[in-house]
Amino acid sequence: MGITICHRVRRDICEAARINSRRFLMDQGATIAKAGRRQTFTTTNMNYELREQLLKPYYDGRNYGCLRYFRSLPSKVLEELISHDLVDMEEWNCCEGVTKLFLPFLQRNPQFTVHGYAVPEGREDVRVSIEGVERSATLTTNEIIDFATTFRGADEMDLAIDYARCWYD
């Protein structure tokens, strides 16, 4: 009996273990889910120090394996990370990615922040992955409608008059 994991999680597990072979997972009895098309993200920018300087105030102390999670990252900091080619911009699973989904929403609603994780130093890139947006404040009707419409395909969504959060796997 194996486990089913999505493409994105499988990729991170392989990189964390420094094993990039799909065959290894198959040999271990894992069932690879068809989770959508995702191109491999690589970057020539390996500026780990700059990335850490930008993300340090937003790390929430949670680590899963070697991934470091952050939250409440403002759109200005996200834009700076993007300008240095440190953010995974591609689409994955049911998420259209940072370029098509998160950035347009943040441009309309700059008071929202993003959450996600950063891969550790020593991996093939110093990628930052954005998993969703959030806001803890009284929301306007327009913000609620825009949030619900934009992120209706999220894997998880919490929406109330004073809180909004979505998450993509």
Number of domains in the chain: 2
135 and 92 in one domain?
yes
pTM here is: 0.71
Does 26 share its domain with 44?
A: no
Strand ranges for the chain from DSSP E = 4-5, 31-32, 59-64, 67-73, 113-118, 128-135, 156-160, 163-167
Query: Which residues constitute the domain of residue 26?
Result: 1-35
**Domain identity same for 91 and 121:** yes
81, 30: one domain = no
| CA 49/CA 168 separation, integer angstroms | 27
Same domain, 1 and 18: yes
**CA 16 – CA 12 distance, rounded (Å):** 6
| 50 and 21 belong to one structural domain | no
Tens of pLDDT along 30-53? 444 434 434 444 444 568 889 999
Q: Which of 28-32, 104-108, 158-162, 163-167 has the lowest mean pLDDT?
A: 28-32
> Residues 65-89: pLDDT tens digits?
788 899 999 999 999 999 998 898 8
**pLDDT exceeds cutoff 60 at 101:** yes
